[in-house]
């Protein structure tokens, strides 16, 4: 009951903003597909598919590897959820094709107006081999990493092989996504930028996903955290939750706030997702609740320097090979 009330409460405030987006999408469509203030040329018209890396009928996503103007590319297509605030337009503006009718039962194919039938599309181009591997559906293995394994196996590997952090530096320097920032604390020690994760299309709060990226540039991951970072972590936790309450009307009790270990990008960032949303990477073997991280560092200042940590790695992850070579698997 409380959940339903909270959802209704959240939905009743946020839709103003969301409704504007729907209206913009409709206007964009009517204006020939231009995004507000930005031309959206179809960069994908020349995309040549090499192979499908993975697909999920349940999640309605497909990950495709291919070429875009002779460059390696990964394209992710994802059907977006049906939103309650668009139902009136969906019912009045669609065509219905009857498939079958039997007694009180009937099924149809509903063809919605294009602005209510968008596919969220993510393009990584040029994509490295590591990107292709990351998005490829693969078997996973749970790895046990002692503090010594971290120093002798993981750290040297991530120093050599990690993904570029350019997109993060662009955000911190306001060279990209500046207009998407939800909240910023500019303090160089405890400050951060909170903005929508690129997996979230921001059209509904049901799959809310934001990330807080710290201004400090020398914290790679959970493993680097000590009690010295408590003011930073507490600041992100408190101000991130306050900003989300103010902007999206979602209280802290509806949020899952966590760090990944291992992350894909070794610049400290914190994930904020809606509690009911099963975001990719929110399972126990990868996600560490920020509240727990804070408590662990309060009870042991070097907790993450000394603990054995567990995490999943995919079959063709180079780090998994390093653990195998060291006889750890
Ligand atoms: N705002 O440019 C960006 C950007 N990039 C490059 C990454 N992120 C960005 N956000 C903005 N702008 O949540 C986001 C990512 C991720 C976070 C980094 O930064 O979306 P992480 O370092 O812990 O890495 O977090 P993580 O979680 O491994 O990365 P990611 O991309 O979430 O991948 C995990 C799995 O989720 C993938 O293997 C794949 O199975 C799935 N996935 C990834 N992207 C999508 C997608 N677009 N749609 C559906 N599923 C996806």
Q: What is the full DSSP assignment across 8-62? A: HHHHHHTHHHHHHHHHHHHHHHHTTSPBTTB----TTTT-EEEEEEEEETTTTEE
| pLDDT score of 9 more than 80 | no
pLDDT confidence band for 41 (50 / 70 / 90): confident
Residue with tokens 């291919």: 66
CA of 297 to the centre of ligand 1 (A): 27
Q: Which ligand 1 atom is the nearest neighbour of the CA of 170?
A: 2
Query: What is the average per-residue pLDDT within 50-68?
Result: 94
- pTM metric for this prediction: 0.85
Q: Is the CB of 199 under 6 A from ligand 1?
A: yes
Q: What residue's CA is closest to ligand 1, atom 17?
A: 197
Q: Percent of the chain at pLDDT above 70? A: 88
| pLDDT score of 4 more than 50 | no
Residues tagged active-site: 269
| pLDDT score of 94 more than 50 | yes
Q: Quick one: the chain helix, strand, coil %, rounded to 5?
A: 40, 25, 35
Query: What is the average per-residue pLDDT within 192-220?
Result: 96
- Confirm or deny that 242 is annotated as ligand binding: no
Is there a contact between 290 and 237 (Cβ–Cβ < 8 Å)?
Answer: yes
Q: Percent of the chain at pLDDT above 90? A: 81
- What is the C-alpha to C-alpha distance for residues 237 and 168, in angstroms, rounded to an integer? 20
Q: Is the CB of 136 under 6 A from ligand 1?
A: no
- Confirm or deny that 169 is annotated as ligand binding: no
Domains and CATH numbers, the chain: 47-135 (3.30.200.40), 140-326 (3.30.428.10)
Query: What is the average per-residue pLDDT within 124-141?
Result: 93
Q: Is the CB of 280 under 6 A from ligand 1?
A: yes
């Amino acid at each position: 009951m409380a959940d339903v009330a909270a959802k209704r409460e959240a939905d009743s405030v946020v839709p103003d903003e969301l409704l504007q987006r729907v209206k913009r999408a409709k206007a964009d469509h009517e204006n020939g597909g231009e995004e507000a203030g930005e031309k959206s040329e179809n960069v994908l018209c020349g995309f040549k598919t090499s192979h499908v890396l993975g697909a999920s009928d349940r999640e309605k996503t497909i990950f495709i590897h291919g070429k875009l103007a002779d460059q390696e590319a990964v394209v992710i297509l994802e059907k977006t959820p049906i939103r309650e605030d668009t139902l009136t337009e969906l019912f009045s503006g669609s065509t219905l094709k009857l498939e079958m009718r039997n007694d009180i039962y009937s099924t149809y194919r509903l063809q919605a107006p294009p602005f209510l039938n968008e596919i969220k599309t993510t393009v990584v181009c040029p994509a490295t081999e590591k990107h292709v591997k990351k998005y490829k559906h693969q078997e996973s293995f749970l790895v046990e990493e002692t503090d010594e394994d971290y120093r002798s196996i993981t750290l040297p590997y991530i120093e050599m092989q990690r993904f570029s952090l350019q997109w993060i530096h662009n955000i911190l320097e306001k060279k990209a996504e500046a207009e998407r920032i939800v909240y910023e604390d500019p303090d160089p020690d405890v400050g951060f930028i909170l903005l929508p994760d690129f997996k979230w299309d921001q059209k509904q709060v049901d799959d809310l996903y934001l990330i807080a990226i710290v201004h400090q540039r020398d914290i790679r991951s959970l493993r680097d955290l000590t009690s010295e970072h408590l003011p930073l972590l507490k600041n992100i936790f408190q101000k991130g939750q306050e900003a989300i309450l103010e902007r999206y009307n979602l209280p802290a009790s509806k949020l899952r706030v966590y760090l990944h270990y291992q992350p894909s990008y070794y610049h400290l960032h914190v994930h904020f997702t809606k509690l009911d949303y099963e975001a990719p990477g929110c399972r126990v073997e990868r996600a560490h609740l920020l509240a727990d991280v804070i408590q662990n560092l309060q009870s042991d200042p070097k907790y993450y320097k000394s603990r054995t940590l567990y995490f999943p790695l995919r079959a063709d992850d180079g780090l998994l090979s390093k653990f195998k070579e060291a006889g750890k698997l």
